[in-house]
């Protein structure tokens, strides 16, 4: 009986070991990458092909050459085909290994403000704020980051530095500003909650501003995001909202929330179109990549995935801005707020 028990234990342990065995070959990692796309990728149905079809497109290549180089070439090619700004490897060495050139959104205007038109009151990790030098009745707030950790977090927490927005608005209100420029020409991203928290200091009514969908098996779970006035606010004067090709992810969620405000004009150029939230995934060879695990859209169902959010008035800076320091977006904003 004792021998039988030992034998049974050996069989169980052996079976468990078999279950835990992972195919760590390049082919195994190719299969794992495709499995993530089929099961966890929130935009798996948003392309003219299925994730199964794109897998079969490259399957013969990895079967013919089961190497890390072939794997890198295939995965970079797949990412290029999907053109999702949230889908990328976190280690540049993988792109360096690949013979395939990485797809980039080179056509977007991605120039950060230099603040030469602003009389700056203070700059923090999260904000630069002040008044427009030519017209001190116009307040100015640049949103640099939503979280101290660049790229942000999906946690519920709002960092103390973010909460300074109440004090900033109060200080500008004390200066008797009558209008404001809110500048979202940054790569601020991360949590859904921080963009909403800040937007609630500007919106003048409660509204649904975004619909989010999370994959759950073969289906998606739907969630509505609402914004309403909270905290110290600037809600009666006109706001010009600036955005461009740097505005992405959480920044685009901020745009969606702000666009619910009356007496607001959005000027600039289209945003990146990095819709939804992200999650990191690992392959057995140590390669780590980011992918979209929720999809977001306008409250009416309109998509901004890959196409971005286009402002009401198109204004762009060009490379001469570095020399002239003439910010065409701020100039247009001042004109509209005059």
Is the pLDDT at 281 greater than 60? The verdict is yes
In a domain, 289, yes or no: no
Instruction: State the pLDDT at residue 272.
Output: 96
**Predicted confidence (pLDDT) per residue in 123-163, tens digit:** 999 999 999 999 999 999 999 998 765 444 445 578 888 99
A 10 A CB-CB count for 297 gives 17
Q: Are β-strands 264-268 and 238-243 bridged in parallel, bridged antiparallel, or unpaired? A: parallel
Lowest mean pLDDT among 73-82, 185-194, 237-246, 276-285: 185-194
Whether residues 173 and 47 share a domain: the answer is no
pLDDT at 273: 96
For every residue of 187-203, DSSP letters joined together read -----SHHHHHHHTTT-
User: Has residue 11 got a pLDDT over 90?
Assistant: no
Same domain for 63 and 200, yes or no, is no
Share of the chain above pLDDT 90, in %: 83
Classify residue 9: in a domain, yes or no.
no
Please state, as a whole number, how many other Cβ atoms lie within 10 Å of the Cβ of residue 70. 20
Determine the longest span between alpha carbons in the chain, in angstroms.
93
Lowest mean pLDDT among 110-119, 147-156, 162-171: 147-156
**Same domain for 244 and 124:** yes
Does the pLDDT of residue 12 top 80, yes or no? no
Q: 26-40 and 51-64 helices cross at what angle (nearest 10)?
A: 180
Nearest-angstrom CA–CA distance, 123 and 168: 11
**What is the reported pLDDT for 107?**
86
Same domain, 181 and 259: yes
Query: For position 156, what pLDDT does the model report?
Result: 56
Please list, in sequence order, all residues whose beta carbon lies within 8 angstroms of the beta carbon of residue 191, skipping any fewer than 6 positions away: 146, 147, 152, 153, 154, 155, 156, 157, 250
> Do 124 and 65 sit in the same domain of this protein?
no
Residues 149 and 53 placed together within one structural domain of the fold: no
134 and 176 fall within a common domain: yes
pLDDT of residue 4: 47
CA distances from 151 to 36, 111, 215, 245, 279 (A): 22, 19, 22, 16, 11
Residues with Cβ within 8 Å of residue 217, at least 6 apart in sequence: none
Task: Give a yes or no: residue 293 inside a domain.
Answer: no
* Model pLDDT for residues 38-65, shown as the tens digit of each residue: 999 999 999 999 999 999 999 999 999 9
Question: What pLDDT does residue 21 have?
Answer: 62
Residues 172 and 224 in one domain: yes
267 belongs to a structural domain: yes
In a domain, 158, yes or no: yes
- Predicted confidence (pLDDT) per residue in 85-106, tens digit: 999 999 999 999 999 999 988 8
pLDDT at position 290: 96
The answer to whether residues 72 and 98 touch, using CB atoms and an 8 Å cutoff, is yes
In a domain, 297, yes or no: no
The two three-digit tokens of residue 64, written as one number:
């013919």
Same domain (yes/no): 144, 181: yes
Look at phi and psi of residue 44 and say left if phi exceeds 0, alpha if psi is from -120 to 50, else beta: alpha
3-state secondary structure of 82: helix
Quick check: is 284 in a domain? no
- pLDDT at residue 188 tops 70: yes
Q: Domain total for the chain?
A: 2
As a whole number, mean pLDDT of residues 223-234 equals 96
pLDDT of residue 190: 75
Domain with 80, as residue range(s), is 25-97
Rounded to two decimals, the pTM is: 0.90
DSSP 114: -
Q: What is the pLDDT of residue 127?
A: 96
| Residue 1 within a domain | no
Residue 304 CA to chain centroid, in angstroms? 12
Output the pLDDT for position 284. Answer: 97
Same domain, 265 and 159: yes
pLDDT at res. 150: 44
Q: What distance in Å separates the CA atoms of residue 99 and residue 114, rounded to the nearest whole number?
A: 37
* Distance set, CA 264 to CA 17, 183, 235, 303, 313 (Å): 61, 13, 10, 21, 12
What distances in angstroms separate CA 55 from CA 77, 84, 85, 219, 230, one per listed residue? 11, 17, 20, 21, 47
* pLDDT cut 70: percent of the chain above it: 91
**What is the residue-averaged pLDDT of the chain?**
91
Based on the domain organization, do 190 and 332 belong to the same domain?
yes
Residue 5: the pLDDT is: 52
**pLDDT for residue 22:** 66
| Contact call for residues 58 and 71 (beta carbons, < 8 A) | no
């Amino acid at each position: 009986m004792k021998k039988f028990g030992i034998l049974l234990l050996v069989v169980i342990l052996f079976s468990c070991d078999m279950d835990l065995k992972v195919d760590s070959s390049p082919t195994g990692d190719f299969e794992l990458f495709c499995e993530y796309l089929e099961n966890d990728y929130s935009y798996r149905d948003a392309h003219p092909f299925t994730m199964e079809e794109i897998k079969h497109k490259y399957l013969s290549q990895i079967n013919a050459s089961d190497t890390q180089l072939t794997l890198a070439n295939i995965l970079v090619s797949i990412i290029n085909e999907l053109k999702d700004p949230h889908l990328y490897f976190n280690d540049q060495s993988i792109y360096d290994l690949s013979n395939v050139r990485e797809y980039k959104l080179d056509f977007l205007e991605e120039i950060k403000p230099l603040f030469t038109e602003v009389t700056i009151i203070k700059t923090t990790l999260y904000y630069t704020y002040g008044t427009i030098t030519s017209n001190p009745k116009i307040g100015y707030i640049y949103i640099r980051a939503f979280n101290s950790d660049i790229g942000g977090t999906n946690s519920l927490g709002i960092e103390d530095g973010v909460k300074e927005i109440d004090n900033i608005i109060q200080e500008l209100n004390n200066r008797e500003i009558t209008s404001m420029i809110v500048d979202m020409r940054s790569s601020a991203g991360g949590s859904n909650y921080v963009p909403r928290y800040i937007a609630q200091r500007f919106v003048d009514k409660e509204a649904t501003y975004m619909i989010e969908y999370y994959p759950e098996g073969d289906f998606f779970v739907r969630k509505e995001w609402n914004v309403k006035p909270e905290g110290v606010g600037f809600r009666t004067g006109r706001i010009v909202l600036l955005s461009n090709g740097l505005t992405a992810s959480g920044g685009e969620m901020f745009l969606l929330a702000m666009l619910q405000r009356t007496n607001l004009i959005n000027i600039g150029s289209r945003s990146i179109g990095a819709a939804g939230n992200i999650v990191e995934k690992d392959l057995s060879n140590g390669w780590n990549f980011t992918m979209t695990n929720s999809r977001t859209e306008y409250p009416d169902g309109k998509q901004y995935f890959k196409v971005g959010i286009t402002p009401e008035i198109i204004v762009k800076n060009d490379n001469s801005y570095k020399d002239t320091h003439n910010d065409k977006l701020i100039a247009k904003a001042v004109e509209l707020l005059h």
